[in-house]
Structure 1
Amino acid sequence: MTGDRQMFTTPYRPPTPPNGPSTCPRCRQPVIWCLTDTNRRAQPINPGRDATGTTAIRQDVTGRWRSRGLTRERPTPEGAEVLHIPHAATCPTPRPRKTPR
């Protein structure tokens, strides 16, 4: 009688991306995981402030860490944002690059 029964399934939810202070999974250095403003992906950021940094990070009202790259339209930090450097630029064991096919 499986034809008479309705199957209830829960919708798939992707895992929550990391957010906040943690460590890099490759080199184990401390990082701050931030969600990018453009595509909502997790990006590791070096925790130390850097005046020459290219990424502005902040904590939103929910406590999530957010980041955005500086652009021509918005070249300086705004509000509570501070400048940092993306960890990918300084990681001693970076992610392997994809080889072109």
Structure 2
Amino acid sequence: MKPASHHIATCRSCRAPICWALTTAHGKRQPVDAEPTDEGNLAVTQGADGLLYVRSITAARPDVRPGEWRAMPHHATCTAPPPRRSSRTAQRSTTSVRPVPWQR
């Protein structure tokens, strides 16, 4: 099964066709490749509300159910990924002088 054409978008970095789906675990948006593949580790389905939902294929639930298709997360296949953002804030300089005297 393939996603409907109104679900297909384009990756900003590599211009590949992708679909945005909500994770079933936390409801966060995740880009997945629009083209189904047998090597995919995600199962994508269209919900009753018309949105796409994605779940991981695990040892506990390895089979793809009727109405689902296998897909790869686009982060794994993007040919031009954006640079990674650091989770750490910029290092502050600790060698500067206090601008005002201590108050008592």
TM-score bucket of the superposed structures, by smaller chain: 0.7 to 0.9
SS of match in other structure, 1:38: coil
Structure 1, gaps ≥5 residues long: 1-18
Task: Give aligned pairs, total.
Answer: 83
Residue 57 of structure 2 corresponds to residue 82 of structure 1: no
Aligned mates of 1:21, 1:38 — CA distance in 2: 22
Change (3 A) 1:69 1:95: farther
How far is the alpha carbon of 1:99 from its aligned partner?
4.4
Change (3 A) 1:24 1:76: same
Aligned mates of 1:62, 1:99 — CA distance in 2: 36
How far is the alpha carbon of 1:47 from its aligned partner?
1.1
SS of match in other structure, 1:45: strand
How far is the alpha carbon of 1:76 from its aligned partner?
1.3
Residue 91 of structure 2 corresponds to residue 91 of structure 1: no
How far is the alpha carbon of 1:28 from its aligned partner?
1.9
Structure 2, gaps ≥5 residues long: 1-5, 89-104
Give the one of 8, 20, 26 matched to 2:7: 20
Aligned mates of 1:89, 1:28 — CA distance in 2: 15
Length-normalised TM-score, structure 1: 0.72
SS of match in other structure, 1:39: coil
Aligned mates of 1:25, 1:37 — CA distance in 2: 25
How far is the alpha carbon of 1:97 from its aligned partner?
2.7
Give the one of 24, 35, 52 matched to 1:37: 24
| Cα deviation code 1:9-31 (max 9, x no counterpart) | xxxxxxxxxx9211112222110
| Structure 1 vs Structure 2 CA RMSD | 1.8
Match of 1:61? 48
Length-normalised TM-score, structure 2: 0.71
Report which stretch shifted further, 57-66 or 26-35: 26-35
Aligned mates of 1:38, 1:97 — CA distance in 2: 24
| Percent of pairs with identical residues | 34
